Structure 1
């Protein structure tokens, strides 16, 4: 039984035969292997074309910025899952990736949408500043977090975000998206009555959008990046296990309801 509307029965990504693999119209062995970095290849796979120098640079920069951030929930999930079944590395990595969501790690696509909202309003209101202020006020009024602003650890600034903005300016790649993000930073401070640091998710969305990285790839960058970090955690877990220790410490840190009520 067919569910949903079918698409055309074709794919443009890759095909394999007995003597060759063709990827986006290129011979894998002769055209790609030994010629492309993985960042180049990821862009080619997703878009069907080679990246420009700026696209390559900022995509690679984003992957490096997000690959690792310590013992995050996704890393803990991967380590504990690895301990449960060391033979299934794929399961441990999958567990960690499933822990990458809009609250932790995966907000770049939400940030892209906010940037596009500001830019669309700026045309009608006449300035980025007015548009950013309007967007910030709406989020505040509706009691919604403003994607890309605030961080539980990095205060008063996110050093990764600062570096990305600096590099975008240095390379002459900072455009309207970066300007919108900076306008939102000022607007957020005014509306919330305190500085809210621009975090790395916002700068990833802004810099990648300014160099014309497609929305689907912006959304996927956090997953692709963190996979490398999760692999590292699982390799270390095999050598120096701490997953079960983290689980036991977590159990110790939580007061059970019966204990809180004074029951034995």
Structure 2
């Protein structure tokens, strides 16, 4: 690099040299076999070696989604795509686009928790008191709270409860989690919906926020958790022998009205 010129990129993530690949400064040869995939993933994203409890929680997080089956649009998209383009890469790419505000991704929930928690910390009110007024403002503005509700589970989402149990056991449960739980209680009371659950995505976002991950990083980790299931679905589809899988007409409703083109052209001034 010539003197006085700036680097194209500056990265602290890794460095490839003739003798080894360095991950956050640590030689890969010393990491592989010493730390599990979950701990090295934490190191790569957060930039530091996790505590044993954080590593175990990370392992749980990477096992927390795995597969939504055909209930997830990303899985359906992946299988449809590989029926015409039988490629694992094509299927995985299609599935990634199915993660967003309403499915898989905890990013919006993570952002909500981070921003609302900062507002609480800047206030002088108690947690439950502030949560009640905060929820009242949200409802008055007709804003939704991400991470609440599920089409099947009522009262308790067993997946979320399992995540909470492990986070508390591993020492990664903290004030950010308690804040989000207070918002959940306040919303249940204000909406008079005692059975409204905090779903797995909401719980996941709260734990990841407490562990210091950014909302965008949360999405990446959630997607990473879905990969084993997606690989299985895509492989099954590629081996099925079905080509160009389409939705049959019996599964769709169509507008059967007919229109007169000459009349429309005349009306439009043709």
State the TM-score, normalizing by the size of structure 2: 0.82
Q: Which residue of 1 aligns with 2:11?
A: 11
Q: Which residue of 1 aligns with 2:266?
A: none
- Residue 214 (structure 1) shift: 4.7
**TM alignment of 1:99-178, pairs within 5 A:** 99-106=98-105, 108-123=106-121, 124-178=123-177
Q: Which residue of 1 aligns with 2:198?
A: 198
- Residue 73 (structure 1) shift: 0.6
Query: Any idea what SS the aligned residue of 1:208 has?
Result: helix
Determine if contact 2:84/2:243 at 8 Å carries over to the other structure.
no
Structure 1 residues 89 and 53: CA distance shift in structure 2, 3 A: same
Determine if contact 1:119/1:128 at 8 Å carries over to the other structure.
no
Query: Any idea what SS the aligned residue of 2:69 has?
Result: coil
Larger Rg: 2
Determine if contact 2:21/2:27 at 8 Å carries over to the other structure.
yes
Deviations 1:32-73 (A, max 9, x none): 222222212211221222111222122221221122122111
Deviations 1:63-111 (A, max 9, x none): 211221221111111111111111x2111101001111111111x2222
Determine if contact 1:79/1:243 at 8 Å carries over to the other structure.
no
Q: Name the structure with the higher helix share.
A: 1
Determine if contact 1:158/1:198 at 8 Å carries over to the other structure.
yes
- Residue 137 (structure 1) shift: 2.0
Query: Any idea what SS the aligned residue of 2:62 has?
Result: helix
- Residue 217 (structure 1) shift: 2.8
- Residue 257 (structure 1) shift: 1.1
Shift >4 Å, 4+ stretches: 241-245
Q: 1-side partners of 2:12 and 2:169: how far apart?
A: 36
Determine if contact 1:83/1:243 at 8 Å carries over to the other structure.
yes
Determine if contact 2:42/2:50 at 8 Å carries over to the other structure.
yes
Determine if contact 2:43/2:49 at 8 Å carries over to the other structure.
yes
Count of residues in Structure 1 that have an aligned counterpart in Structure 2: 251
Structure 1 residues 25 and 171: CA distance shift in structure 2, 3 A: closer
Q: 2-side partners of 1:145 and 1:177: how far apart?
A: 19
Q: 1-side partners of 2:215 and 2:111: how far apart?
A: 9
Query: Any idea what SS the aligned residue of 1:84 has?
Result: coil
Structure 1 stretches of 5 or more lacking a match?
1-5
Q: Which residue of 2 aligns with 1:3?
A: none
- Residue 139 (structure 1) shift: 2.5
